[in-house]
Structure 1
Amino acid sequence: MPVVSFGDIGKAAKGLLGGDKPTGTFSFDPKLSVSSTTASGVALTATTVQKADKVEASLKAAYSTKKYSVDVALSPDNKVTATASINDVAPGIKLTTSAVLPDPATAKLTLDYSMPYLALKSTIGLNASPVVDVAASTGYQSFVLGAETSYDTAKAAVTKYNFALGYHAPDFQVAAHLTDLTKTLKLIYSHNLTSTSTVGAEVTRKLATSDTTFALAYARKLSNGALTKLKLDGSGALSALYETKLQGGEKVTGSLQLQATDLSKPVKYGFAVDLA
């Protein structure tokens, strides 16, 4: 089995605390998504989000086979992001190219290489002075160790380097991330208490200033299939989520956030509707 990639070290914990499909994502702005698939297999998704008195719309079209995938996305600022991938160019190798149109200088080429004890991802900008990103990870059994760096050829300097160490067991994950040029240490943890409930925690410490923040989360799937989640962070913000599917297959998510340390502050709330 291929080793976990650098970006997926502590993935379950990051998803629980930051939002993902299995445990839900907090949404404090009204959001409507409509998805459908054409007879030819093209998946279309239209999304509108209301932020204050402004409505932002985006559109995405995607097509994939076992060998190829192509997707085109139109963002609210009318920029088009096009991405194309080819799997198994050689054993364990995947190539991806992307660009944000109409600016050709944003074009990038990404190589993913995966084997039992090494996962490598390298991205290079297709322009005169590219930024080169490299991420690698290796592991044994449940342990995984990884690092990533960026080199800016225009500045002739390394602009980023991060490290991560994780342990992925069937029922829990724990990871330590050293980021921000080794100035920030982040510890994350998630544990499946049962087949329907998960808890997680995150502690972030700025090593130079000793500033520390934390977050706690709990997610549970109810007997009716609905999903609930609670999250408390160090600032006192308490967030709650309820997600359910209607009989027609529509997914509805409601989110609520209040300041637990100061109940006089206004409550934030929002909802998201996904029509498939």
Structure 2
Amino acid sequence: MSSLPQPVPPSWKDLGKSSTDLLQKDYPFNGTALEIKTKTPSGVTFKVAGSRPSHTAPIHGELETKGFHKAQGLTFTGAWTTSNVLKTQIELENQIAKGLKLDLTTTLAPSKPEGKGNKTAVLAAVYKQSGFHSRAFLDVLKGPTFTADTVLGRDGFLVGAEAAYNVTDGRISRYQLAAGFNAPEYAVTLHALNDLKSFSASYYHRVSADVEAGAKAVYDTKLTNGGVAIEVGTKTYLDSAAFVKAKINNAGVLALGYTQSLRPGLKASFGLALDTQKLNEVDPSGQVHKVGMSFVFES
């Protein structure tokens, strides 16, 4: 009896994504952010994003445009930031082989001195098939460094590994491992990172159609106190257009988030972070207690 076709597993960077998104996304307490997305009838998209951290004066902004050539499987993305950094990305997908994607990403900072990190160039290849997801990157100007990762999946079980090789030095500069299990309503992921010196375990559970919960524990052997950092969080849908999120870590920092779709194409998010061990302290710098908001317009 032949087994059923296996779905494509997540990439290395997306292992534990459900828990990461639950604990990290939709908490805009570090300042104010605005994002505007538009799309032309021909499929070209434009995005203007700006953010101002609560503890600094300068506003960081980025203008991005993305175009597609579906017949050729080609995508071009260009961006320009207020830091005077030019970014380009060219992607070619499913043309040489089914499931293969090639990518060239470059950045250029004309205002920086030559040779001081003013430019980068990374070649990437991604190959996806049933039960298999592999990526390879060549950082042309740094090292050069070759990085590869692979994730294998079968019946919900996932195993993955990543390694970086410095071509100039002729040595492996980093290696990492991961394992997990994904089910429709829950996911568990274990990571051994930074040459197996840092370990993390994450858990995600869709309790019901309206409630999600998750947790993450991190242990780093380099920390002098040798403790484990733990964070737990939850997300509750109030209705089809609004949800609230809450999380707390073992350092006593409580974070709250509220997201509301005001109308189709307009979403507002509000975030608050409180250090529960310093509630009575005056915080003029905004470093202890934080508040912020984010608005996204899309058409």
The answer to whether structure 1 residue 272 and structure 2 residue 288 are counterparts is no
Equivalent position to 1:140, from 154, 158, 168: 154
AA aligned to 1:212 is V
Q: Which residue of 1 aligns with 2:74?
A: 68
Equivalent position to 2:257, from 214, 238, 241: 241
Cα pair 1:10 1:168 within 8 Å, conserved:
no
Provide the C-alpha distance between the structure 1 equivalents of 2:80 and 2:101, rounded to a whole number of angstroms.
25
Deviation at 1:101, TM superposition (A): 2.0
Matches within 5 A, 1:148-167: 148-167=162-181
Deviation at 1:40, TM superposition (A): 2.8
Question: What value does the CA root-mean-square deviation take over the aligned residues?
Answer: 1.9
Inter-CA distance 251–202: structure 2 relative to 1 (3 Å threshold): same
The answer to whether structure 1 residue 260 and structure 2 residue 267 are counterparts is no
Q: Give SS of 1:261's match.
A: helix
Identity across aligned pairs (percent)? 21
AA aligned to 1:175 is T
Cα pair 1:97 1:108 within 8 Å, conserved:
yes
Deviation at 1:71, TM superposition (A): 0.9
Cα pair 1:105 1:126 within 8 Å, conserved:
no
Cα pair 1:108 1:125 within 8 Å, conserved:
yes
Provide the C-alpha distance between the structure 1 equivalents of 2:142 and 2:292, rounded to a whole number of angstroms.
44
Comparing 35-44 with 228-237, greater Cα deviation is found at 35-44
AA aligned to 1:95 is L
Q: Give SS of 1:58's match.
A: strand
Provide the C-alpha distance between the structure 1 equivalents of 2:143 and 2:12, rounded to a whole number of angstroms.
25
Matches within 5 A, 1:76-115: 76-88=82-94, 89-101=96-108, 106-115=120-129
Deviation at 1:105, TM superposition (A): 5.5
Q: Structure 1 unaligned runs (5+)?
A: none
Q: Which residue of 1 aligns with 2:46?
A: 44
Deviation at 1:173, TM superposition (A): 0.6
Q: Give SS of 1:235's match.
A: coil
Provide the C-alpha distance between the structure 2 equivalents of 1:193 and 1:46, rounded to a whole number of angstroms.
36
Provide the C-alpha distance between the structure 1 equivalents of 2:90 and 2:222, rounded to a whole number of angstroms.
41
Cα pair 2:252 2:277 within 8 Å, conserved:
yes
User: How many positions carry a matched residue from both structures?
Assistant: 272
AA aligned to 2:19 is A
Q: Which residue of 1 aligns with 2:112?
A: none
TM-score, normalised by the number of residues in structure 2:
0.85
AA aligned to 2:198 is T
Q: Which residue of 1 aligns with 2:235?
A: 219
Inter-CA distance 129–50: structure 2 relative to 1 (3 Å threshold): closer
Q: Give SS of 2:19's match.
A: helix
Q: Give SS of 2:263's match.
A: coil
The answer to whether structure 1 residue 59 and structure 2 residue 81 are counterparts is no
Comparing 209-218 with 189-198, greater Cα deviation is found at 209-218
Inter-CA distance 224–39: structure 2 relative to 1 (3 Å threshold): closer
Structure 1 residue ranges (4+ consecutive) displaced by more than 4 angstroms after TM superposition:
102-105
TM-score, normalised by the number of residues in structure 1:
0.92
Deviation at 1:14, TM superposition (A): 1.4
Q: Which residue of 2 aligns with 1:203?
A: 217
AA aligned to 2:239 is S
Provide the C-alpha distance between the structure 2 equivalents of 1:275 and 1:6, rounded to a whole number of angstroms.
31
AA aligned to 2:211 is S
